[in-house]
Amino acid sequence: MKAQEAALGTLKMQRIELPSWAFGNSGTRFKVFRQPGVPRDTVEKVNDAAQVHKFTGVAPTVALHIPWDKVDDWAGLVQHAADQGVGLGTINANTFQDDDYRLGSVCHPDARVRQKAVDHLLECIDIMDATGSRDLKLWFADGTNYPGQDDIRARQDRLAESLAIVYQRLGPNQRMVLEYKLFEPAFYTTDVPDWGTALVHCLTLGDKAKVVVDTGHHAPGTNIEFIVASLLRAGRLGGFDFNSRFYADDDLMVGAADPFQLFRIMFEVVKADALKPDAAVSYMLDQSHNIEPKIAGQIRSVMNVQEATAKALLVDGDALANAQRAGDVLGANAVFMDAYNTDVRPLLVAVRAALGLDEDPLAAFTRSGYADRVIRERVGGEQAGWGA
């Protein structure tokens, strides 16, 4: 019973940040299926995110993407979010949608284009000053499509130079978190393709530079929990972009494609005691609900992270350590699998009861009629999307 009680306490304090862009229309190069009731602006995205927090109790902040979520009155948006019971979180820069960035942004051969990209990143820090956000999240689409197209080392020099300028601008309580991705949209080299490259740049920059792990950004078969354990060991895990995939950067609901992988990842997080706020690791969803209802999709995703976390918290650490020390391979694996095979739904019902919430967030949200109401109300105007 003791483990369950401890887990309940930890699960009540879990914090999962939501991506504003998950509430807008999204898709693939083949089609973006528009959905009725989709937000038309940042205020409506914040309203939808607040619904996820209202019914789960563990999603109190919304990550923004610039320029998709740019507003004229940042103080007004901060106040509106607070009125909705949420806060504004990570600021995501965007140097992947301007025609000037065809050959890259901070790695572009032309210094004028690099300066344009750096100016955008500096503007994002101005926005962080206005929203009180801690993290500037940097994902660069930069790369090449053909061997010989550009100088691989020179691009790394340009990247390092650009990041150093931005790093200098960070305030005392601000950080930059650098996200790597194996490929896409570039298909030969990507300038920040893996955790090693991201870590080298962060170590060069300084303590306020950390690495972001996005579950969909790895080659098939990559042992992501090994990367997580290694970055936590180095004190350089800055954030997580949760989603899942069967093939590439599918951005499906976290835990939907591989719940066992999510459990293994959360076990490394729990074992490093990195769930607690002062571990300063931001856990964010980064998903695209291309065909499914978006708010319900976010609620289900939060529940999937809670389930994996609950199972990870129930691994009998002493029994595992004893079996590992004894070289009892099957014994150790059995301890690990016992936790994974534990039905934690009753524990999560208890967590929600302790938070004064309905035991089934999805059913409660559906009963609230919010989804039908916004479909009725949000008529006209331009639905939000990736603006590509």
Return d(Cα 39, Cα 47) in angstroms, integer. Answer: 9
44 is a contact residue toward Mn ion (CB under 5 A): no
Tokens of 348: 């999560």
48 is a contact residue toward ligand LRH (CB under 6 A): no
Which residue lies nearer to ligand LRH by CB, 44 or 142? 142
Which residues contact residue 133 at a Cβ distance below 8 angstroms, ignoring those fewer than 6 apart? Answer: 64, 88, 89, 90, 91, 127, 174
Q: How far is the CB of 339 from ligand LRH (least distance, A)?
A: 29
Q: Which does 142 bind (CB under 5 to 8 A by kind): ligand LRH, Mn ion, none?
A: none
Which residues contact residue 73 at a Cβ distance below 8 angstroms, ignoring those fewer than 6 apart? Answer: none
Q: How far is the CB of 26 from Mn ion (least distance, A)?
A: 13
241 is a contact residue toward Mn ion (CB under 5 A): yes
249 is a contact residue toward ligand LRH (CB under 6 A): yes
17 is a contact residue toward Mn ion (CB under 5 A): no
Return d(Cα 18, Cα 241) in angstroms, integer. Answer: 10
Q: Which does 181 bind (CB under 5 to 8 A by kind): Mn ion, ligand LRH, none?
A: ligand LRH
Q: At what angle do helices 259-271 and 294-313 cross, to 10 degrees?
A: 50
Q: How far is the CB of 68 from Mn ion (least distance, A)?
A: 14
Q: Which does 249 bind (CB under 5 to 8 A by kind): ligand LRH, Mn ion, none?
A: ligand LRH
Per-residue contact string for residues 279-318; x = within reach of Mn ion by CB under 5 A? -------x--------------------------------
Point out which residues pair with 17 in neighbouring strands.
Answer: 284
Sheet (strand 18-19) strand order: 18-19, 61-65, 87-92, 135-139, 175-179, 209-214, 237-242, 282-285
> Binding ligand LRH by CB under 6 A: which of 179, 225, 250, 268?
179
Given a contact cutoff of 8 angstroms between Cβ atoms, the answer to whether 32 and 342 are in contact is no
Nearest residue by C-beta to ligand LRH?
139
Return d(Cα 290, Cα 43) in angstroms, integer. Answer: 21
Which residue lies nearer to ligand LRH by CB, 135 or 179? 179
Given a contact cutoff of 8 angstroms between Cβ atoms, the answer to whether 56 and 305 are in contact is no
Which residues inside 212-231 make contact with ligand LRH, applying CB under 6 A?
A: 214
> Binding Mn ion by CB under 5 A: which of 214, 225, 249, 251?
214
